[in-house]
Amino acid sequence: MCRAVLESEEGQSTAKGINDGIMYLMAVPYLLVAGIAFMIYWKYFREKKENK
């Protein structure tokens, strides 16, 4: 039903907004995982440097 409404609208502004929202929702988990991985890497790197 949503697809039919979005395809029938002229100008496609609502469809663009929906697509932007989907991309935002898809990006957040990847950014969180990348941030956690960076923090783990940074902690390991600092400990390795301090031990030298």
Q: What is the pTM of this model?
A: 0.62
Q: Do the beta carbons of residue 11 and residue 23 sit within 8 Å?
A: no
Please give the average per-residue pLDDT across 32-43, as a whole number: 95
> pLDDT (tens digit, 9 = 90+) per residue, 3-23?
777 777 777 888 888 889 999
User: Token pair of 32, please?
Assistant: 């969180």
Q: How far apart are CA 9 and CA 16, in angstroms?
A: 11
Cα 17–21–23 angle (5° rounding)?
A: 115
State the pLDDT at residue 28. 96
Alpha helices in 1-52 (DSSP H): 2-8, 13-51
